[in-house]
Amino acid sequence: MRSFKFIAESSSNGVIERDFTVGEVSGVLWSPASGADRAPLVLMGHGGGNHKKHPAMAGRAELLVTGCGFHVACIDAPGHGDRPRTAHDEQEIAELFRARAAGEPEGPIVVRYNAHLAELAVPEWQATLDALTELPEIGADGPVGYFGVNMGTAIGVPLVAADPRITAAVFGQHWPDVLAEKARQITIPIEYDMQWDDEHIPREAGLALFDAFASKEKTLHANAGRHKELPRFEAASAVRFFARHLGRAATVPA
Amino acid sequence: MRSFKFIAESSSNGVIERDFTVGEVSGVLWSPASGADRAPLVLMGHGGGNHKKHPAMAGRAELLVTGCGFHVACIDAPGHGDRPRTAHDEQEIAELFRARAAGEPEGPIVVRYNAHLAELAVPEWQATLDALTELPEIGADGPVGYFGVNMGTAIGVPLVAADPRITAAVFGQHWPDVLAEKARQITIPIEYDMQWDDEHIPREAGLALFDAFASKEKTLHANAGRHKELPRFEAASAVRFFARHLGRAATVPA
């Protein structure tokens, strides 16, 4: 097992934030300040170009911790946040910016680059989960959720397909090309977010990835709007989804 | 205006239930027992073959009244509940049962019969709304929602297209054939429920009706499962949707 250690701790608004490392991987664990009672864990995957403490991550973590009493963990993806970029990372990012500037479709580059990052990230997440479930306040038997859209879905779908410890997941906003095959192996409850007028991901592509999940319980949330306009109330919806499936009450805004 | 009168009143679990008539139309108004403060009104349309006090209606009303403090009204559709069936009603219902028994598609009969009922029901709903907004605990200026799936959508879509007093609506589970044209006139916020594996309404038909709404804010909730398996948590979701759009806090289960 890769070595796990906490390297910093702070606290605000009822949430304890502990930075940690698992081998080379930098992560953060948010927990209720109110006590060390055993509680379910939600893993969060951040979006491409972001990092573990991006405001979207911190905001969702606060809803999950203060609304449900969950522990919430996020790790930096390879080449993101506190982690170094390789020459290959730089090359793919440059290619993405070039395509974007030229008005070419981003999909083929994002799909290929995210698939590469997922291959590296899945074992990193599994090592992180090994370590976190040894903490007494989480434990090895408790339910675990996964929450990540965009690149968080590109990494999360193969992770969930590979790891039976994860029992409920919220995904969204990705292409089916690489992921549909893994999605067909997934049977846990799923909530899936897509944007009805996504300028990057064709509507049929979003619907096809949702369709691929083998889960008996799955819900698609499709909102009018463009790629970056995912409504904020979907974060609260995800929190309630985890409350239902990980066995906690939820106190979050409507 | 058709004559409005309350004809019965009872109370349980924090909800006052008052039966009323508007002309020939039988209805029910559920209100918070806690007081007569002015509060928003949600109109509920029941499903085909059901009636204003069907358990699905009473259950949703209880969530809306006790969770948000709303007033909630439901009227029997023509030929339903306390209202007489015409020879034409009997004929269409027999034709529906015949098709069902023969394993033929229900869609063409349901679409045609519901469109007929909607023509009768829209002016009935408008007369009901005229009367209810004269009550001091509702008032003429407050926001009004509409909540109805199945036949409740067949009646609700033309009603919402015709009546600007309704400012937010939850619809679902119908065909686009007759309704898409009306949906294209609707711009208020919409939540739309469909079943991903509906054996009566083809997936493309459900998606086409959702797509037709001109609303800038609209959300599709598509759940795995057959026509009658709409998950119960979608009722709570609808309540939260009305809380957001009619300006109230919500206390409902996740």
Q: In chain B, what are the domain boundaries? A: 4-84+116-246
- pLDDT of A186-214, one tens digit each? 999 999 999 999 999 999 999 999 999 99
pTM metric for this prediction: 0.95
- In this prediction, residue A1 carries a pLDDT of 58
Q: How far apart are the first and last CA of chain B?
A: 41
- Cβ–Cβ of B240/A231 closer than 8 Å? no
User: What's the average model confidence in pLDDT over B53-67?
Assistant: 96
- pLDDT of A86-115, one tens digit each? 999 999 999 999 999 999 999 999 999 999
Residue with tokens 């015949």: B98
Instruction: Give me Rg for the CA atoms of chain B.
Output: 17
Helix %, strand %, coil % for chain B, to 5?
40, 20, 35
In whole angstroms, give the CA distance from residue A96 to residue B145.
45
- Cβ–Cβ of B219/A217 closer than 8 Å? no
List chain B residues with CB under 8 Å of A204.
Answer: none
- In this prediction, residue A34 carries a pLDDT of 84
- pLDDT of B4-49, one tens digit each? 999 999 999 899 999 999 999 999 999 999 876 799 999 999 999 9
Distance from the B164 Cα atom to the nearest Cα atom in chain A, whole angstroms: 21
Establish if A249 touches chain B: CB-CB under 8 angstroms. Answer: yes
- In this prediction, residue A36 carries a pLDDT of 63
- In this prediction, residue A2 carries a pLDDT of 78
- pLDDT of B97-149, one tens digit each? 999 999 999 999 999 999 999 999 999 999 999 999 999 999 999 999 999 99
- In this prediction, residue B34 carries a pLDDT of 84
Token digits of residue B179: 């309704």
List chain B residues with CB under 8 Å of A217.
Answer: 224, 231
Distances in Å between the Cα of B235 and the Cα atoms of B70, B86, B150 are: 15, 32, 14
User: What's the average model confidence in pLDDT over A66-79?
Assistant: 96
In whole angstroms, give the CA distance from residue B87 to residue B102.
22
Token digits of residue A120: 């590296």
- pLDDT of A3-48, one tens digit each? 999 999 999 989 999 999 999 999 999 999 987 679 999 999 999 9
Q: How large a percentage of chain B has pLDDT more than 70?
A: 99
Minimal-distance CA residue of chain B relative to A187: B224
Distance from the A44 Cα atom to the nearest Cα atom in chain B, whole angstroms: 20
- In this prediction, residue A251 carries a pLDDT of 82
Distance from the B53 Cα atom to the nearest Cα atom in chain A, whole angstroms: 27
- Cβ–Cβ of B254/A243 closer than 8 Å? yes
Q: Interface pTM (ipTM) of the complex?
A: 0.93
- In this prediction, residue A193 carries a pLDDT of 98
Establish if B208 touches chain A: CB-CB under 8 angstroms. Answer: no
- In this prediction, residue B1 carries a pLDDT of 58
User: What's the average model confidence in pLDDT over B186-199?
Assistant: 98
- In this prediction, residue A88 carries a pLDDT of 97
Class for the domain spanning A4-246: alpha beta
User: What's the average model confidence in pLDDT over B162-166?
Assistant: 98
User: What's the average model confidence in pLDDT over B231-249?
Assistant: 94
Distance from the B110 Cα atom to the nearest Cα atom in chain A, whole angstroms: 26
- Cβ–Cβ of A233/B244 closer than 8 Å? yes
* CATH node for B4-84+116-246: 3.40.50.1820
